[in-house]
């Protein structure tokens, strides 16, 4: 009997020990899980510089495929999360956005009174913060908070936007030297050479022993002992950490093994994770590889939309077009509401452009840079889809057109709406669309269909077109062309006059046309 009791006691103790160990292991595992929120702002520079969206997508891909375990990350665009509550359990909030520049650019997107209150809430609970390149810019007002949260900021304007040039900028190629070679952020690194747009003379809080200087460029000749610093870290009493760097102007620098490792080390460290002795190991991934990893898509298209028109809900229809293409093709689709992204984005990343845009009552002309990028993209073989009233863009007959007319656009878009002539449309409503070329890849598997739309007629252009789709106008009494294809340089173009609103894009056969069209324009010409 005694032996049985002893055995039972030993068993209980063993099981208790087992469960305590399991709980501890579970707790440790929980503690090792780190959530990183990556926030990108809208583009404001040309291709290859300030690539905010490409950068956060690349960072997530690299972290996902790195030697780090227990890290999760999520991406938010436009400078702030759609649902700020996602920040409530974040271990690190990283910003790569525009910064404070009262003369040229908008303020840092998160630096508003309401958003800073949300950020304060996250910092108070020990969340980390990371600011990359331009997002280190701050006004004096918000800069005081950044000093507390992350240790330093780029200070060159007062709250009124008057330049005081405390901080400075210089683009150069130089060797980076580590100021704190024993810091975890430097793990696995050796001094390296980098060409970048370096910001220096960063505003640090005097006497703040929490700040840890990480890397400097000796050739910058800063005005203080820390003036050459281009990367720094901070540990707060609440347990939160900060890592910031003024580097990151050129997207190509991510291909540099040492640059990539240092920034990933900094991100991981600021999230509160342990940096491996060899540092964070992650290769550089090309845009197509990133797209495949994040979206399981092999190709990309860009929709250019926006600009208000009372009858054309472009933002709604663009979301619908995105959904149609992604559901039925191997394309992932980005949406831009800024037509000047034609010169901001690297168009080589995209196999097709989709215009769902017209500058209605907008006299601002398209910039020369965007015109050049658009033309070169098409002449070099890029694909283009022109939807509905996009044929009315950049035309002298538009209300208040002023200087927005672009004659070459009438060569890119073979049929245009001329408000000074007899261009028009039947009353919005139901009509039958006929397939007039059954053997073309775009109409493959497409049958005549009933739609609800605007039936355009008398669109102007000299180029010969052979319609893929037609419909009989009640006004002209003729079969009016509604879709066709042609070449501009080496580029393939599909133009359709359909697509007035969400009802039009809900028609099954038209959805098939669009899906076929994006595949067709993205293919290289056989000749």
pLDDT digits (tens, 9 = 90+) for 417-439: 999 999 999 999 999 999 999 99
Residue 25, pLDDT score: 39
In this structure, the answer to whether residues 127 and 159 fall within a common structural domain is yes
In this structure, the answer to whether residues 229 and 326 fall within a common structural domain is no
Q: Considering the domain boundaries, does residue 197 fall inside one?
A: yes
In this structure, the answer to whether residues 345 and 223 fall within a common structural domain is no
Domain around 324 = 297-521
| Cα distance between residue 36 and residue 273, in whole Å | 11
Closest by Cα among 206, 248, 265 to 68: 265
Q: Considering the domain boundaries, does residue 246 fall inside one?
A: yes
Of 254, 270, 289, which one is at a domain's C-terminal end? Answer: 289
pTM, rounded to two decimals: 0.91
| Cα distance between residue 203 and residue 246, in whole Å | 12
In this structure, the answer to whether residues 213 and 263 fall within a common structural domain is yes
In this structure, the answer to whether residues 472 and 365 fall within a common structural domain is yes
Of 263, 289, 315, which one is at a domain's C-terminal end? Answer: 289
Q: Considering the domain boundaries, does residue 22 fall inside one?
A: no
In this structure, the answer to whether residues 266 and 301 fall within a common structural domain is no
Of 289, 319, 354, which one is at a domain's C-terminal end? Answer: 289
Count of domains observed in the chain: 2
Q: Considering the domain boundaries, does residue 93 fall inside one?
A: yes
Q: Considering the domain boundaries, does residue 6 fall inside one?
A: no
Query: What is the 3-class SS of 337-397, one letter each residue?
Result: CCCCHHHHCCHHHCCEEEECCCCCCCCCCCCHHHHHHHHHHHHCCCEEEEEHHHHHCCCCC
Closest by Cα among 92, 77, 79 to 37: 92
Q: What is the mean pLDDT of each run of 10 residues along the chain (527 residues)?
A: 51 51 40 88 94 98 97 96 97 95 77 96 98 94 94 86 87 96 96 96 93 96 92 96 98 98 98 97 97 98 91 92 98 96 97 96 93 98 97 93 94 95 96 97 97 97 95 97 97 98 96 98 76
Residue 8, pLDDT score: 52
In this structure, the answer to whether residues 349 and 262 fall within a common structural domain is no
Q: Considering the domain boundaries, does residue 234 fall inside one?
A: yes
Return phi, psi of residue 254, to 5°.
Answer: -65, -20
Is the separation of the CB atoms in 167 and 200 below 8 Å? yes
In this structure, the answer to whether residues 419 and 446 fall within a common structural domain is yes
In this structure, the answer to whether residues 56 and 126 fall within a common structural domain is yes
Closest by Cα among 364, 392, 387 to 458: 392
Closest by Cα among 130, 79, 131, 143 to 105: 79
CATH number at residue 196: 3.40.50.880
Residue 524, pLDDT score: 78
| Cα distance between residue 199 and residue 272, in whole Å | 26
Give the tens place of pLDDT for each residue, 363-384: 999 999 999 999 999 999 999 9
In this structure, the answer to whether residues 100 and 242 fall within a common structural domain is yes
In this structure, the answer to whether residues 276 and 420 fall within a common structural domain is no
Residue 361, pLDDT score: 87
Residue 275, pLDDT score: 97
Q: Considering the domain boundaries, does residue 314 fall inside one?
A: yes
In this structure, the answer to whether residues 178 and 248 fall within a common structural domain is yes
């Amino acid at each position: 009997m005694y032996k049985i009791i002893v055995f039972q006691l030993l068993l209980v103790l063993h099981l208790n020990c087992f469960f305590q160990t399991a709980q501890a292991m579970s707790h440790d595992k929980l503690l090792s899980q780190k959530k990183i929120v990556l926030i990108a702002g809208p583009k404001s520079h040309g291709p290859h510089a300030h690539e905010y969206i490409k950068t956060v997508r690349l960072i997530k891909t690299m972290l996902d495929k790195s030697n780090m375990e227990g890290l999760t990350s999520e991406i938010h665009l436009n400078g702030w999360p759609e649902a700020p509550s996602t920040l409530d359990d974040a271990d690190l909030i990283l910003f790569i956005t525009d910064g404070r520049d009262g003369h040229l650019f908008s303020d840092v997107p998160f630096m508003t009174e309401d958003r800073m209150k949300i950020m304060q809430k996250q910092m108070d609970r020990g969340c980390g913060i990371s600011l990359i390149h331009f997002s280190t810019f701050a006004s004096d007002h918000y800069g005081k908070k950044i000093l507390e949260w992350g240790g330093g900021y780029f200070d060159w304007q007062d709250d009124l936007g008057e330049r005081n040039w405390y901080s400075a900028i210089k683009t150069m190629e130089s060797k980076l030297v580590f100021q704190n070679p024993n810091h975890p952020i430097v793990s696995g690194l050796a001094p390296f050479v980098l060409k970048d747009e370096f910001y220096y003379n960063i505003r640090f809080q005097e006497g703040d022993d929490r700040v840890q200087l990480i890397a400097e460029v000796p050739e910058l000749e800063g005005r203080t002992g820390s003036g050459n610093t281009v990367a720094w870290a901070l540990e707060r009493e609440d347990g939160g950490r900060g890592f910031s760097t003024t580097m990151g102007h050129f997207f190509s620098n991510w291909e540099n093994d040492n640059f990539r490792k240092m920034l990933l080390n900094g991100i991981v460290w600021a999230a509160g994770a342990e940096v491996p002795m060899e540092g964070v190991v992650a290769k550089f991934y090309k845009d197509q590889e990133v797209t495949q990893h994040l979206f399981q898509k092999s190709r990309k298209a860009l929709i250019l939309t926006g600009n208000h028109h009372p009858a054309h809900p472009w933002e709604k229809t663009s979301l619908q077009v995105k959904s149609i293409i992604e559901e039925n093709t191997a394309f992932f689709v980005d949406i831009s509401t800024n037509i000047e992204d034609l010169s901001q984005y690297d168009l080589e990343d995209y196999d097709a452009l989709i215009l769902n845009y017209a500058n209605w009552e907008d006299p601002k002309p398209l910039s020369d840079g965007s015109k050049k990028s658009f033309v070169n993209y098409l002449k070099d073989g890029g694909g283009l889809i022109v939807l509905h009233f996009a044929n009315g863009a950049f035309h002298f007959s538009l209300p208040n057109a002023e200087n927005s007319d672009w004659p070459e656009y009438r060569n890119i878009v073979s049929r245009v709406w001329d408000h000074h002539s007899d261009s028009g449309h039947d009353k919005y409503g139901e009509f039958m669309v006929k397939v007039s070329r059954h053997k073309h890849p775009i109409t493959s598997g497409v049958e005549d269909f009933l739609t609800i739309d605007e039936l355009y007629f008398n669109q102007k252009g000299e180029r010969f077109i052979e319609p893929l789709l037609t419909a009989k106008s009640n006004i002209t009494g003729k079969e009016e062309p509604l879709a066709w294809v042609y070449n501009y340089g080496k580029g393939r173009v599909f133009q359709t006059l359909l697509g007035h609103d969400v009802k039009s894009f809900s028609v099954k056969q038209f959805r098939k046309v669009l899906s076929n069209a994006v595949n067709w324009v993205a293919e290289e010409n056989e000749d």
